Amino acid sequence: MELKARRSELIEVAKGERPADLYIKGGTVINVYSQEFLEQNVAIYKDCIAYVGNIEASIGENTKVIDAKGMYISPGFIESHAHPWVIYNPVSITRKVLPFGTTTSINDNLFFHLNMGANRFKELIMDLKSLPGNFLWLVRLVSQADFPGEREWYNQKEIQELLNLDEVVGTAEVTRWPLIYKADPQLLETMDYAKKIGKISDGHTSGCSYERLNAIVASGVNACHEAITAKEALDRLRLGLWTTLRNSSLRPDLPEIVKLITEGSVNTSRIIMTTDGPHPAFIEKEGYADGLVRQAVELGVPVLNAIQMVTINPATYLRLDDYVGGIAPGRKADILLLPDLVQFRPELVIAGGEVVAENGKLLTSLPEINWKKYIHRKPFTIPKSVLKKPELYQYPHTSSNNPVPVIHFRSNVITQRKDTVLPSKNGFADLSGHDSLLQAVLIERNGEWIAKGIIERFATNLDGMASTYNTTTELLVIGRRSESMAKAASRVHEIGGGIVIVDGEEIVLEIPLPFTGMMTASNSFDEALEFHNQLLSVLQERGFPFHDILYTLLFLTCDNLPGLRLVPYGLYDVKEDEFLQSSTPLKSLTFS
Ligand SMILES: Nc1ncnc2[nH]cnc12
């Protein structure tokens, strides 16, 4: 990490030979190293802490003294596993969570790399360096749904170059973890490279048994946030993984997994917490890293341990503890003044030595990013007229006697194969007698391929919807009426990405997501929140039975979760690793 303050200057301030810029006086320092509360002052010079103690020698004429009487002085919180694209974007999420005290976030680069490639992504990293706080990255080794040309797009040499950047702390989760289990040479080599240059590899081992976990840990993976029971969390801890307890909008599991601590006697020094990319309404209600500490303490975790789990523990895991995670000389001055240890909402947030927020209000400016310059790999080149063809949205089915493998939603994101006998009409499945079934297709933006399926238990009364908000960022079109689906698809094409819902011929909701098809191009978090709330309520009115629509859309097209998925190569049975219906080149279907 680059520091503005020189070490020699910090030494002078520590000795009282040079005046501090800021001096926080009269508060109680939360010492996450020694696990103590200490009545001490903190002197700050430029972007760093220079001194922690009771001597006031560094207060000079121009030193700004902050009275922290009655307050706790905490290290800034760290979100070590962020996904900065849940309709919000890197800037709008920072706007929201910096005043809540998250001064460091470690961000997945999935959709940035997927849409702009490694070199453009490098430019984005540089542009986002001007964000207040520490906005750092983990880089993907592959996407979340294999596609033609994936390994060239995620090429090893470029990824290694990214890993060498100061702003990149390691490799990101590999959701398709069987690749690691099978010792994929390209992935192992890159993870090894990361280790050699002192960086980490985040993991993702959902549903992985203890026995299989051994093989994953042997690959060099450092952490996992996918435990959904205290037992699974303990397995991970015991095998030497940094164990990240998740409380996300999709999986609000903390009450269960925290029993690892509250009903056990484990050492918490390798336990971390994450919100794992929650939707905007969750952040609005629960906060971010602050919400994790608040809830952990409510659930019975000792307060100092809970704070360590979002400060020094993630900093140590990320190999950033020389810079962030604690209040000590030579560390970055990322500091919160907390009025209490119940709400954990800071009265003052200092990031890099600057007061950036007070009483929940951001006081600093945010960069204006020209998102357009990054819209790069995938504009829609498929002619819009093609999207109007109704047969595009029908599942091929020639024999009424053969059952069709339907994607049945068991929960928000978990699906199962449900073979269903359906009549065939003009070579397609006839859904007219089955109210609970919808057509679903995934169309490559350039018309290279189309994958088709039928889904059940999504939103029974949905005429048509199209969305680039899914893990491929291609065009996902769902509905019961081909004409409405066509209209929704055409509109998303026109706006260059986003989510559109159509009733009959009428557009009832339009959410433009021009930045990669996942994010708004606005700095407003409130706009993202409003879009999310509208989407959920419009779909719930049409029968969507679950609590988190964005994750349903996101993961319908991934290739790692059970059971059937719609992915670039077709309708895919994840467990069997089998394609039940291959995707077809769209051009051969429609351009002739
Ligand atoms: N694997 C994932 N991909 C995209 N967004 C996510 N948010 C949480 N997990 C995610």
* Residue 573 within a domain: yes
Pocket test for ligand 1, best of 554, 556, 560 (most atoms within 8 A of CB): 554
Residue 592's pLDDT band, with cuts at 50, 70 and 90, is very low
Contact 442, 471 (CB under 8 A): no
Q: Are 428 and 437 in contact (CB under 8 A)?
A: no
What is the amino acid identity at position 363?
A: L
In a domain, 48, yes or no: no
Please tell me the distance from the alpha carbon of residue 142 to that of residue 124, in angstroms, as a whole number.
19
Of the chain, the percentage scoring pLDDT greater than 70 comes to 99
Q: Which amino acid is at 237?
A: L
| Cβ of 277 below 6 Å from ligand 1 | yes
Distance 244 CA to ligand 1 centre (A): 15
- Domain assignment present for residue 21? The answer is no
Ligand 1 centre from 86 Cα, in Å? Answer: 9
Query: 434 with 475, same domain?
Result: yes
Residues 363 and 382 both lie in one domain: no
Range of the domain at 477: 377-588
Q: What is the pLDDT of residues 93-119, one digit of tens each?
A: 999 999 999 999 999 999 999 999 999
* 433 and 338 in a common domain: no
Contact call for residues 546 and 536 (beta carbons, < 8 A) = no
Domain final position from 345, 373, 401: 373
Nearest to residue 404, comparing CAs of 425, 390, 391, 418? 418
DSSP E strands: which ranges in 457-556?
A: 464-467, 475-479, 498-503, 506-512
Q: How far, in Å, is the centroid of ligand 1 from the Cα of 27?
A: 39
Contact 337, 348 (CB under 8 A): yes
Pocket test for ligand 1, best of 276, 282, 518, 552 (most atoms within 8 A of CB): 276
- Beta-sheet pairing, 450-456 with 424-425: unpaired
Instruction: Evaluate whether 498 touches 514 at the Cβ level (below 8 Å).
Output: yes
CA–CA separation, 516 vs 20, rounded Å? 44
Same domain flag for 395 and 512:
yes
Q: Does the beta carbon of 512 sit less than 6 angstroms from any atom of ligand 1?
A: no
Domain co-membership, 510 together with 400: yes
416 and 319 co-located in one domain: no
Predicted confidence (pLDDT) per residue in 463-494, tens digit: 999 999 999 999 999 999 999 999 999 999 99
Q: Is the pLDDT of residue 41 over 60?
A: yes
The pLDDT of residue 587 is: 72
CA distance 343 to 320: 27
* 143-157 pLDDT per residue, tens: 999 999 999 999 999
In a domain, 10, yes or no: no
What does residue 209 show for φ and ψ, rounded to 5 degrees? Answer: -70, 165
| Cβ of residue 175 lying under 6 Å from some atom of ligand 1 | yes
Between CA 23 and CA 27 the distance in angstroms is 11
CA–CA distance, 137 with 111 (Å, rounded to integer): 12
Residue 44 maps to a domain: no
Write down which residue in 356, 373, 390 finishes a domain: 373
pLDDT reported for residue 588:
64
Q: What is the pLDDT of residues 349-375, one digit of tens each?
A: 999 999 999 999 999 999 999 888 887
**ipTM score for this prediction:** 0.97
Q: Same domain, yes or no, for 240 and 349? A: yes
Closest CA to 268 of 213, 207, 202, 316: 316
Q: From the alpha carbon of 85, which atom of ligand 1 is closest?
A: 5
- Is the pLDDT score of 591 beyond 60? no
pLDDT at 400: 82
CA–CA gap between residue 571 and residue 585 (Å, rounded): 14
**Is residue 425 located within the same domain as residue 553?**
yes
Q: Using 50, 70 and 90 to split pLDDT, how confident is the model at 376? A: low
Residue 414, pLDDT > 80, answer yes
Q: What integer is the mean pLDDT of 506-528?
A: 96
% of the chain with per-residue pLDDT over 90: 94
**In contact, 548 and 116? CB cutoff 8 Å:** no
Residue 289 in any domain: the answer is yes
**Does one domain contain both 337 and 388?**
no
Domain edge (last residue) among 373, 400, 431: 373
Distance 550 CA to ligand 1 centre (A): 10
Confidence of residue 590 (pLDDT cuts 50, 70, 90): low
Chain segment 423-436, per-residue pLDDT in tens: 999 999 999 989 99
What's the number of domains the chain is made of? 2
